[in-house]
Amino acid sequence: MSDIIQLLPDHVANQIAAGEVVQRPASVVKELLENAIDANATEIKLIVKDAGKTLVQVIDNGKGMSVTDARLSFERHATSKIKAAEDLFQLNTKGFRGEALASIAAIAHVELKTKQEQDDLGTVIVIEGSEVKSQEVSVTPTGTSVSVKHLFFNIPARRNFLKSDTVELRHITDEFHRVALAHPNIAFVFYHNGSDLFNVPQENYRQRVVHIFGTKTNEKLVPVEEETEVLKISGFVGKPEFSKKTKSEQYFFVNQRFIKSPYLNHAIKSAFEGLLKDSYHPSYFLNLTVDPKSIDINIHPTKTEIKFDDEHTLYAILRSAVKHSLGQFNIAPILDFEQQSSFNTPYIYKNKSASTPAIEVDRSFNPFEDDTSSKNGISKKTNYNSDFKSSPAASWESLYVGLESKGNNSESDFSEVTFESEAKTESIFSDSLIETTKTTFQLQQKYIVSTLKSGMLVIDQNRAHQRILYENFLKHITIQEATSQQLLFPLQLHYTPNETKIIKDLKANLEHTGFVFSKLDTKEITITGVPVGVPESEVSIILEQLISDVENDVPDSNFSASDLLAKSMAKSLAIKNGQSLNSTEQEHMVNSLFACKEPNVSPTNRPTFITMAVDDIEKKFM
């Protein structure tokens, strides 16, 4: 029998490795930005076209590479970061496996320009599908520039799996946020299709967070500082009142590397216990510094998961540090046996002396005195406080005026006594009549139960209301005749540049539903009108839900912004499970549902009601 095992060609092996390293354009951005940071760059420029499908370019002013290093960097497992296997447990750099550039070059057109500071000329290398097309000497500034064009040009199936530009740009922005937040000492510029999305200079950590997430973020931050022998914590957590329904502002950095850790996330959430509303998540931007020997980074291809030696200790320290900060800044109640802040003298009373209380009494005041003196034109001067004014008391003899005419006939007095009202007697059949006319009732404040000729109807009130609102909003967007209610005071909202761009793209559709924008720029959004029936307090929740849906949903080729907007607004404004409805509201819900074009399913294609036939009910009693 002939041998069947053979070595794979290099270009095939590189394409297989690319499957682990490069899932989408954001993966290329991550690898190139980390290489620029490892090159000790102080200024990094990211240029993206068509959400990375056409071009991803990273330019840095780092130390550059020699001619030999530039060519060798595209070979598999070629790296300058580690020399031996033991170095994997003492890593202080980002990329160390030597697969990034080789994998990227296998599925794209790559152009590398690099020059070291001591050299007069640099090097330009052009590679297409792992094949080196040219390597020449060129005039180029100090540092490195890597251009990745036509991603997945030789793997059409992988390119077809890419999502829309909006979704892919969100992933690229997420990677940019993670790298920029981890390195506030580096200046970053991010361009997309010729317009700059971010331009952040070298600054401290608080300024970096505010630059990326908007100026309104500054008032939301609570500093967290703790240093022990095991762990050093620095960064910020968000105030509970600014918590979000999404986890978009949760960042852990271990030794300046972004990680995901559900276990440590639980520590933060337990520190906020009792301070957050249901289904809301806290915001945090925390840097953890630990001994590199106590962690293992190389357990996941994307290096976003880390294995710790002693997770329980880190959990306890992190939870205590966050809880202490919330108490220290009066966000949460704190018990301090040494000093009680409520006992302290306010600053405005610090240098004031205590005033002795005084009591003033008008000794000439007589409530039984007849005001004969006033009739005679004589007025008395009083020295009591003018705040206490009393009307002259009527003469006590006036209380008995009119009693003499009636004499001593007490019977006539009692004969004139009448009751104010008589007790009303209702019909004993009134309650039963009401029950017989009631055709619906609410079960567990979640389902509406009604009767049918063939049996029983059970409606999910949340899904049914979503369907009703969805068709209503879709109709308003289509005919562009929605009514709007003006706000007494304009509503000002603040979002990140990426979130503001999403609202700008949907502005026309939002206006068709009833929203009125007086200002819409990268720093602030001002709303002067909202759709009829939408409370002002729900506006920010609706827009946050809409942004989350646009970022996280997977739109296909038939994606409609109007459809997504109608679904998102219906989801936000629909009656929630647990809300009590009276009989009139229940009947209106049933009638409105069956007036819809598709009453059977919700906007997310889930059933809105079920029916139970009489035969099915009778079988239960057999």
Q: What pLDDT sits at residue 335? A: 52
pTM of the full structure: 0.66
Q: First vs last Cα of the chain: how many Å apart?
A: 68
CATH class of 10-200: alpha beta
Q: What's the Cα-to-Cα distance from 557 to each of 55, 376, 552, rounded to whole Å?
A: 22, 99, 16
Q: What pLDDT sits at residue 415? A: 56
**The CATH homologous superfamily of the domain defined by 442-611:** MutL, C-terminal domain, regulatory subdomain (3.30.1370.100)
Per CATH, which fold does 205-328 belong to?
Ribosomal Protein S5; domain 2 (3.30.230)
Q: What's the Cα-to-Cα distance from 369 to each of 365, 375, 386, 507, rounded to whole Å?
A: 8, 13, 19, 77
Please report which helix (H) or strand (E) contains residue 221, including its range: strand 221-227
Q: Locate tokens 């009989």: which residue?
A: 583
Q: What's the Cα-to-Cα distance from 294 to each of 229, 251, 524, rounded to whole Å?
A: 12, 21, 44
Extents of the domains making up the chain:
10-200, 205-328, 442-611
Mean pLDDT by 10 residues, the chain (622 residues): 76 66 86 89 93 92 88 76 57 63 87 91 90 89 92 84 83 91 93 88 91 85 89 90 83 88 89 83 90 73 73 89 84 56 58 76 79 49 48 57 56 55 48 47 86 85 90 78 80 81 82 83 82 79 78 53 76 83 86 88 88 85 82
| Coil, strand or helix at 158 | helix
